[in-house]
């Protein structure tokens, strides 16, 4: 079942370069071959999804199969960009996992209402981050095995 | 969800029917997997084992004249915790079973007894115990918080590094790094924030070091690194400054930006000591020295070496900036015919102005450049500026001048220089016939197929090659035969001695004869007096260069 599938691209939107390093290292450590790319805030994420501006060269590339989204970012934060993505026919079906350090319940409630697929509090230790990446990886495999529309 | 769908399995089995049977049983037992790879004999199994990683190994014991048992050790050496290895046998032989267990196989199955049910159970049990084993190994060797090596594995790796360096003769540095304000951060932001800081610093350290380096967290806020395969002391400064640089950007913890700094101590094997425990002690002491120097700094255990390394590093930085800002100059010294005293060519010599009137000592800064990548930049610069000079002469109608430039053996270790030259010559083809590339005999080229090809490519374009400083280096006639050489330059130490030393006179005579025999031009370097010039003429040396004719001048 898995041999014909190419791994999905994972996109991470997070303004902290250290967190970007952590997640890409954890992917590598978990030996998942998925390519990963990054944007630094919600505005860039929209440009990336629309293949505009600095991302125009990606026009022929398939959209990411999964978005890891930070909530607290400058310029346009995670909540605002989530709203915009979920209102967009083209993007609303991309699964989104919110990664944040915030435990505030309001955040949780709001993000669930916005159709977030999962809500994960960024683990502090590298080991648990690798575990987290591994545990959602099965979920990604299900995603890629869905028939394409 | 199929638990085994991503497994890669290797089956070593010399009987194709047995392989097909096992494969079918496997699929029945555990469903489709990622790959089932088949090796049909001992040799091809060895190749597959060393080139690929598998999650599960099945080894038939009888492989022609070889035994599958002997593959177990080969598999194990590729892993810290090897994946499950299952031995297969045609007959139920208790001794083989014991041997297999002794060598580290995880199970022993008799082919005739195989059923899907048995295979499924073998998979489940061995993967579970392996998973546990791997977890234990990881706990014992890695720091869970940062994912770096822990103290116990670091100590092992340090000892391994000393053994490797002893064999290879290469030096390495033990770097101890301690955060300056970790306690403050822990106290003011809380322990989870402190942990977050450590994981982020760990990632930065991992990314600023090379894959051959070793990064460990020894506990608390103390990190240790092994920087291996370092050519010279000033490279240590570069590597350590890269590490210092990761603290320039603040780190986000609990949504706040925090500035962090560190103190770093460095001890070097074998310069400081060749005993691992002393190395740890010395780099610790150096780290405390850095702390007492006002933190956010680094210190070498060996202060004298520290000073030298820093001066050299400074010179590298200045030289780099001189190249980038085009502050280097080319001077030209004529090469003349001893038959009619006419100038046949000019040797381009590099000058680096130092202050108002003087120059840096060329030999000294070239030596520094040779030890770093700077020599490549210099090589490119010299080539391009020699070309520009020839082009400007050409524009003035002077078309009969030739230039020889000096090149380092390092420029022929990759294709970069030859590619640059080829591109340039495509634009201005006439230049090739006007340029000679001088290669010093002091640091000779490696005679490999690749370097020979690179020189041949340029030779085919019309470039000429010359052996510089001939007669004093270690290279030999084979050097002249391997490379497409056109001329030899007799080293000035020989030329200047031909009046006082019979041996040097004989050597000079022999080199001239050698040149004649191999159809190579011969140029005597360092000719400073008429007397020497006359002797050279009497020996029928065709060309000379030296202060008697002209010192190097700007043209």
- pLDDT, one tens digit per residue, over B338-382 is 999 999 999 999 999 988 778 989 988 898 888 777 899 999 999
Angstrom CA distances, B274 to B173, B174, B213, B483, B549, stand at 11, 12, 19, 41, 53
User: What pLDDT, on the 0 to 100 scale, is given for residue B201?
Assistant: 95
In a domain, B554, yes or no: no
Rounded Cα distance between B378 and B366, Å, is 9
In a shared domain, residues B478 and B526: yes
Nearest Cα residue in chain B from A22: B203
In a domain, B318, yes or no: no
Angstrom CA distances, A79 to A41, B59, B309, stand at 11, 55, 52
In a shared domain, residues B158 and B132: no
Q: Are A125 and B195 in contact (CB under 8 A)?
A: yes
In a domain, B108, yes or no: yes
* Domain end (from B83, B116, B141): B141
User: What pLDDT, on the 0 to 100 scale, is given for residue B2?
Assistant: 45
CA B257 to chain centre: 37
In a shared domain, residues B125 and B183: no
Query: Which of the two residues, A141 and A16, has the higher pLDDT score?
Result: A16
In a domain, B160, yes or no: yes
In a domain, B495, yes or no: yes
Would you call B203 and A142 a contact, using CB atoms and an 8 Å cutoff?
no
Determine phi and psi for A68, rounding to 5 degrees.
-100, 120
Alpha helices in B209-272 (DSSP H): 233-245
Q: Is 0.90 exceeded by the ipTM?
A: no
- The three-state DSSP-derived secondary structure of B301-313 is CCHHHHHHHHHHH
Within 8 A of B34 by CB-CB distance, chain A residues are 2-3
Determine phi and psi for A63, rounding to 5 degrees.
-65, 160
Would you call A2 and B200 a contact, using CB atoms and an 8 Å cutoff?
no
Rounded Cα distance between A85 and A94, Å, is 9
In a shared domain, residues B225 and B105: no
- pLDDT, one tens digit per residue, over B466-484 is 999 888 876 667 778 888 9
Angstrom CA distances, A118 to A98, A108, B195, B508, stand at 6, 10, 25, 83
Pairing label, strands B85-89, B56-60: parallel
In a shared domain, residues B182 and B117: no
Q: How far is A25 from chain B (nearest CA, A)?
A: 8
User: What pLDDT, on the 0 to 100 scale, is given for residue B1?
Assistant: 37
Q: Where on the phi/psi map is residue B397: left (φ > 0), alpha (ψ -120 to 50), or beta?
A: left
In a domain, B411, yes or no: yes
In a shared domain, residues B384 and B268: no
Mean predicted confidence (pLDDT) in A45-68: 88
A130 touches chain B (CB under 8 A): yes
Q: Does the structure show a pLDDT above 80 at B335?
A: yes
In a shared domain, residues B525 and B376: yes
pLDDT class of B29 with cuts at 50, 70, 90: confident
In a domain, B2, yes or no: no
In a shared domain, residues B162 and B221: yes
* Domain end (from B257, B272, B306): B306
Rounded Cα distance between B452 and B465, Å, is 12
SS3 B345: strand
Angstrom CA distances, B192 to A123, B169, B222, B261, stand at 10, 44, 17, 19
In a shared domain, residues B161 and B129: no
User: What percentage of residues in chain B have a pLDDT greater than 90?
Assistant: 53
Rounded Cα distance between B266 and B272, Å, is 10
Domains of chain A, with CATH numbers?
A: 10-143 (3.40.50.2300)
Nearest to A18 among B145, B147, B200 (CB): B200
CATH of the domain at B264: 3.30.70.270
In a shared domain, residues B190 and B331: no
In a domain, B286, yes or no: yes
User: What pLDDT, on the 0 to 100 scale, is given for residue A145?
Assistant: 38
In a shared domain, residues B132 and B280: no
Which of B488, B420, B412, B489 lies closest to B452 in space, CA to CA?
Answer: B412
Q: How far is B123 from chain A (nearest CA, A)?
A: 20
Mutation target for B interface from A125, A141, A142: give the one with most B CBs within 10 A: A125
* Domain end (from B141, B173, B205): B141
A18 touches chain B (CB under 8 A): yes
Structure tokens at A49: 């999804």
- pLDDT, one tens digit per residue, over B224-238 is 999 987 877 778 888
Would you call B2 and A3 a contact, using CB atoms and an 8 Å cutoff?
no
| CB atoms inside a 10 Å sphere around CB B319 | 23
Q: Chain A 87-116, CB below 8 Å of chain B: which residues?
A: 101
A33 touches chain B (CB under 8 A): no
A72 touches chain B (CB under 8 A): yes
pTM (2 decimals)?
Answer: 0.59
CATH of the domain at B43: 3.40.50.2300
Residue with tokens 């991302």: A55
Instruction: Provide the domain count of chain B.
Output: 3
In a shared domain, residues B462 and B350: yes
CATH of the domain at B426: 3.20.20.450
A4 touches chain B (CB under 8 A): no
| Measured torsion, CA atoms of residues A108, A111, A113, A114, in degrees rounded to the nearest 10 | 180
Which residues form the domain of B40? 8-141
Instruction: Write the CB contacts of A22 (distance below 8 Å, at least 6 apart in sequence).
Output: A126, A129, B199, B200, B203
Nearest Cα residue in chain A from B31: A1
């Amino acid at each position: 079942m898995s041999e014909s599938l190419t791994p999905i691209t994972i996109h991470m939107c997070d303004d902290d370069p250290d967190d970007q390093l952590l997640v890409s290292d954890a992917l590598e450590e978990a030996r998942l071959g998925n390519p990963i790319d990054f944007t630094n805030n919600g505005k860039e994420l929209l440009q990336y999804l629309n293949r505009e501006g600095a991302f125009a060269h990606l026009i022929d590339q398939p959209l990411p199969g999964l978005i890891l989204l930070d909530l607290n970012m400058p310029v346009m934060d995670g909540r605002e960009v989530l709203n915009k993505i979920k209102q967009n026919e083209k993007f609303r079906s991309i699964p989104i996992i919110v990664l944040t350090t915030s435990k505030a319940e309001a955040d949780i409630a709001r993000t669930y209402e916005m159709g977030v697929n999962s809500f994960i509090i960024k683990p502090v230790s590298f080991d648990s981050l690798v575990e987290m990446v591994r545990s959602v990886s099965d979920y990604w495999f299900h995603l890629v095995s869905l028939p394409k529309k | 969800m199929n638990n085994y769908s991503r497994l890669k399995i290797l089956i070593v089995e010399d009987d194709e029917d047995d392989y097909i049977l096992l494969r079918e049983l496997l699929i029945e037992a555990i469903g489709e997997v990622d790959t089932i790879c088949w090796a049909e004999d001992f040799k091809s199994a060895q190749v597959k084992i060393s080139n690929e990683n598998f999650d599960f190994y099945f080894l038939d014991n009888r492989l022609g004249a070889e035994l599958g048992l002997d593959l177990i050790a080969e598999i194990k050496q590729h892993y810290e915790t090897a994946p499950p290895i299952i031995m297969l046998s045609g007959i139920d032989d208790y001794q083989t079973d014991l041997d297999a267990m002794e060598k580290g196989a995880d199970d022993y199955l008799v082919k005739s007894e195989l059923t899907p049910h048995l295979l499924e159970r073998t998979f489940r049990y061995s993967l579970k115990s392996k998973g546990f084993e791997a977890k234990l190994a990881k706990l014992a060797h890695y720091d869970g918080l940062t994912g770096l090596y822990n103290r116990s594995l670091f100590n092992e790796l340090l000892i391994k590094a000393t053994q490797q360096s002893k064999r290879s003769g290469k030096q390495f540095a033990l770097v101890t790094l301690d955060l300056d304000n970790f306690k403050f951060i822990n106290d003011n932001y809380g322990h989870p924030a402190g942990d977050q800081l450590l994981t982020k610093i760990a990632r930065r350290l991992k990314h600023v070091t090379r894959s051959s380096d070793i990064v460990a967290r020894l506990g608390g806020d103390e990190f240790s690194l092994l920087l291996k395969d370092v050519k010279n002391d000033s490279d240590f400064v570069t590597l350590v400054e890269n590490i210092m640089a990761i603290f320039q950007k603040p780190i986000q913890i609990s949504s706040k930006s925090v500035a962090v700094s560190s103190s770093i101590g460095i001890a070097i094997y074998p310069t400081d000591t060749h005993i691992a425990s002393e190395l740890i002690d010395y780099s610790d002491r150096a780290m405390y020295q850095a702390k007492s120097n006002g933190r956010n700094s680094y210190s070498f255990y060996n202060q004298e070496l520290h000073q030298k390394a820093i001066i050299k590093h400074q010179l590298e930085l200045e030289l780099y900036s001189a190249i980038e800002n085009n502050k280097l100059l080319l001077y030209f010294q004529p090469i003349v015919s001893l038959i009619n005293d006419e100038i046949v060519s000019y040797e381009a010599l590099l000058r680096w102005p130092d202050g108002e009137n003087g120059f840096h000592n060329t030999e000294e800064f070239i030596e520094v450049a040779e030890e770093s990548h700077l020599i490549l930049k210099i090589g490119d610069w010299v080539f391009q500026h020699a070309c520009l000079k020839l082009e400007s002469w050409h524009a003035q109608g002077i078309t009969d001048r030739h230039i020889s430039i000096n090149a380092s053996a390092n420029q022929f270790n990759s294709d970069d220089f030859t590619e640059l030259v080829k591109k340039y010559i495509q634009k201005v083809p006439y230049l090739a016939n006007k340029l000679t590339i001088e290669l010093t005999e002091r640091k000779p080229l490696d005679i490999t197929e690749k370097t020979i090809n690179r020189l041949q490519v340029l030779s085919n374009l019309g470039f000429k090659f010359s052996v510089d400083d001939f007669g004093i280096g270690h290279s030999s006639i084979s050097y002249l035969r391997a490379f497409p050489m056109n001329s030899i330059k007799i080293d000035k130490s020989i030329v200047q001695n031909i009046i006082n030393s019979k041996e040097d006179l004989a050597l000079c005579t022999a080199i001239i004869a050698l040149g004649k025999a191999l159809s190579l031009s011969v140029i005597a370097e360092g000719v400073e007096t008429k007397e020497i010039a006359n002797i050279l003429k009497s020996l029928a040396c065709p060309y000379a260069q030296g202060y008697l004719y002209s010192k190097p001048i700007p043209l």
